[in-house]
Amino acid sequence: METPKIECDPKIVYVTTKTGAKYAMPSHASQQCYDDAVGFPFDQDDVIIASYPKSGTTWTLNIVRLICGMEIKSGSIIESEFPFLESSERKRLDEHKATHKPAFYHTHIPCDHLKLNQKTKYIWVLRNPKDVCVSFYHHTKLFSNLYEYDHGTFDHYFKLFTSGKTDYGSYFSHVKKWSLHANNTNVLLLLYEDMKTDTRSAIKRIANFLGENYAARVSDPVTMETILEKCSFREMYQKMDQFSTVIKDGKCPVIRRGVVGDWRSLMTKEQAEIIDRMTVRHELQHYWEKYADIV
């Protein structure tokens, strides 16, 4: 008799939060880095780019870097200018803060763990859950060393995603928590779907949020055109080694297809309906009202 195949979950680790709860993170994370990240004293010179994974974080980092005129040093990746909170030691965060003004960081840790304050600037990137689910599935398979999930099927991953059992936990809970702060003056909400529809406006909004000097920079038409070109999917795809150290068979998990509605490539109608119902139950559907035909 044939032995039934048991699908293994992706490899993840659990850290303990300040309330004693267990929180799922990618296997490179450690309790020490998590504690350092959530305990780091951010202030008015700091800007945090925050998102649930696969929401367009790397794209946003690149736009911010271009607005600020930062270069990606040869042999390095964009992350060196935007330390990833949950995988950076305290020493690295302190050094970064001491040498950068403003100092940029990025994270996927939920905002209630971070203890938001009114001085720090937060750029929250949000993307529709169906595309996030499909993108996260590809990401989890491509990062083989981290997740050991090369043979995972989409049906299996879908169940994990909808039950909040992937790293970083439930998408819906993450987004719901950020939603409570979306109207704060020190929070800029960027919707991936808006960024795709009108990248120029997204660039202006980010620059205005960062401050007058940056707004002035992007008001120069030549600078704006350069930023638009360098943050385009095509250009970033060609330079994928500047954005991730993980490139497998020419594929890069953070620059893959870059379209709205890619969920249709893998998700069944029934699966899409499950996510739609969850979106409604969490009262999040209003974010994508404009995009009802594609999202």
Helix residue ranges per DSSP H, the chain: 31-39, 57-68, 90-99, 111-114, 129-142, 144-147, 154-162, 171-179, 192-197, 199-210, 212-218, 221-230, 233-238, 269-281
To ligand A3P, the closest distance from the beta carbon of 19 in angstroms equals 27
Which of 158, 170, 163, 152 shows the shortest CA–CA distance to 52? Answer: 170
Pairing label, strands 46-51, 121-126? parallel
50 binds ligand A3P (CB under 6 A): no
To ligand A3P, the closest distance from the beta carbon of 157 in angstroms equals 13
135 binds ligand A3P (CB under 6 A): yes
58 binds ligand A3P (CB under 6 A): yes
Binding part of the chain for ligand A3P, among 77-85, 95-103, 180-188, 231-239 by CB under 6 A, reads: 231-239
257 binds ligand A3P (CB under 6 A): yes
Which residue has the closest beta carbon to ligand A3P? 258
Instruction: Please check whether residue 48 is in contact with residue 210, taking contact to mean a CB–CB distance below 8 angstroms.
Output: no
Residue 170 burial class via C-beta count within 10 angstroms: exposed 0-12, middle 13-18, buried 19 and up: buried
Pairing label, strands 121-126, 103-107? unpaired
Closer CB to ligand A3P, residue 108 or residue 113? Answer: 108
Q: Which of 102, 164, 258, 261 contacts ligand A3P by CB under 6 A?
A: 258
To ligand A3P, the closest distance from the beta carbon of 118 in angstroms equals 26
Q: Which of 55, 107, 166, 179 contacts ligand A3P by CB under 6 A?
A: 55
53 binds ligand A3P (CB under 6 A): yes
What CA–CA distance (Å, rounded) separates 123 from 178?
Answer: 11
To ligand A3P, the closest distance from the beta carbon of 80 in angstroms equals 16
Closer CB to ligand A3P, residue 25 or residue 255? Answer: 255
What CA–CA distance (Å, rounded) separates 254 from 256?
Answer: 6
Residues that bind ligand A3P (CB under 6 A): 51, 53-59, 131, 135, 138, 231-233, 236, 254-258, 262
